[in-house]
Amino acid sequence: MIERSAKDTLLRLASQFPAVGIMGPRQSGKSTLAKAVFPQKKYITFDDIGMRNLAQSNPSDFLQAFPDGAIIDEVQKVPGIFDALKMLIDSNPPAPGKFILTGSSQFRLKSNMTDSMAGRVAFLKLLPFSAGELKNAGMLPDNPYDLIFGGQYPPLRDPERNFIPDDWYESYIDTYLDLDVREMINPGNLSSFRKFVQICAICSGQLLSMDSMARDVGVSAPTVKNWLSILESAFIIHFLEADTNNLGKSIVKTPKLYFADSGLLCHLLRLESREDLLLSRYKGAVVETFAVSELLKHRLNQGKKPNLTFFRDSKGFEVDTIADWKHTFAIEVKSASMPESKHSSCTRRYLELRRDSNARDAVFYLGDTSMVINGTSYVSWRDWDKFLI
């Protein structure tokens, strides 16, 4: 089994809070992580109708049956369990890490846990595998485009499960629409929502324009705003806000949109092979999406806020990503396989404007060798995890 980078974070949170909720997109490995980190805990899933009926009939008595706590999967299927958990936690001595809660419906899971268990639960957000996790497991492909095109959802990286990415993603989208979205939108809008998801794919790596999306899909701008929030809550997409420092006024106040997984993005763009991706006009946007996703995973696996932005001034000068962490990282993403000094022109200029002696700049590129050119780190896709430490 591939060891998850979030393991230490889960242990850290469980050492403090009586309950930890593991959130993330469907099939990102939430239940697998919980069982691997806490093998001694009883595992319960409310997919089991028998267990679900028992919990629904008397949530408090049901929890009493697990004095040492438990991993409860699909916990959102029994809403009454959250109030019972709150009462159990409050009426007993502190017991950090007693309950680990997971679920596939992020909307109901987060809402119920936030409303009922404020201050009693910590959240860990788990995305699909990072490139670093695959590398540590000896499963990183030789060609970066095999990883970018195929995506990083755990089932697709399981050697014992011979999924074809195109088939798996089609099933994934159907499941997502049927089980998650159907309860969030008017059923008559499902076909429009599917078209909307396709439009989002075309916009990955671009400035968000809700008015343009609304025109393309044939719905109102408020509907687009609501649908974007649904996709973001389900960890299908992510937004980078514009940088808000004093270096210059941003052209726009709207964020840039990115998909959380490059493989799903390729499927939605109707790219059928690695070769299609290489020849596609979307290649640069897909590679940038992959890079932003890796940065996002790095932070979430540590239980930290992303703190990722992009910089663009009133004259169109732009840096792909600004990571304001312990140090500020100005990062440019290139799909090139050979480093060139001109690739760092924007990041070097940004550092000059920033005047922060601790700030660093880097170019993420798809070559196999990392190096430093004129003070700028050119980071191979194989080493992004080392750069981010």
DSSP 51-67: HHHHHHH-HHHHHHT-T
Q: Evaluate whether 254 touches 209 at the Cβ level (below 8 Å).
A: yes
Residue 15 to residues 20, 63, 67, 90, 121, Cα–Cα distance (Å): 10, 20, 17, 17, 12
Q: Please state, as a whole number, how many other Cβ atoms lie within 10 Å of the Cβ of residue 118.
A: 9
Residue 26 to residues 8, 16, 196, 227, Cα–Cα distance (Å): 22, 26, 20, 18
Would you write out the chain's pLDDT as a tens digit for each of its 389 residues? 899 999 999 999 999 999 999 999 989 999 999 999 999 999 999 989 999 999 999 999 999 999 999 999 989 889 899 999 999 999 988 899 999 999 876 666 666 676 667 788 899 999 999 999 999 999 999 999 999 999 999 999 998 888 999 999 999 998 887 777 877 888 788 889 999 999 999 999 999 999 999 999 999 999 999 999 999 988 999 999 988 776 666 566 789 999 999 999 999 999 999 999 999 999 999 999 999 999 999 999 999 999 999 998 878 889 999 999 888 999 999 999 998 888 999 999 999 888 888 889 999 999 999 999 988 999 999 988 777 65
DSSP 8-46: HHHHHHHTT-SEEEEE-STTSSHHHHHHHH-TTSEEEET
Written as six digits, the tokens of 352 are 């000059």
- Nearest-5° angle of CA 247, CA 319, CA 127? 120
Note the residue count of the chain: 389
Closest CA to 273 of 146, 142, 168, 129: 146
Q: Evaluate whether 36 touches 71 at the Cβ level (below 8 Å).
A: no
- Residue 135: exposure state from Cβ atoms within 10 A (0-12, 13-18, ≥19): middle
Radius of gyration of the chain (CA): 22
pLDDT at 248: 60
Contacts of 158 (CB under 8 A, 6+ apart): none
Q: Evaluate whether 110 touches 233 at the Cβ level (below 8 Å).
A: yes
Q: Evaluate whether 384 touches 291 at the Cβ level (below 8 Å).
A: yes
Q: Using CA atoms, how far apart are residues 347 and 329, in angstroms rounded to an integer? A: 9
Q: Using CA atoms, how far apart are residues 137 and 275, in angstroms rounded to an integer? A: 26
Say which CATH topology domain 7-125 has.
Rossmann fold (3.40.50)
Domain boundaries, the chain: 7-125, 131-388
H-run or E-run covering 267 = helix 262-268
- Residue 318: exposure state from Cβ atoms within 10 A (0-12, 13-18, ≥19): middle
Q: How far is CA 199 from the centre of its chain?
A: 19
| Amino acid in the structure at residue 281 | R
Which strand ranges, in their side-by-side order, compose the sheet holding 42-45? 42-45, 70-73, 99-102, 19-23, 121-125
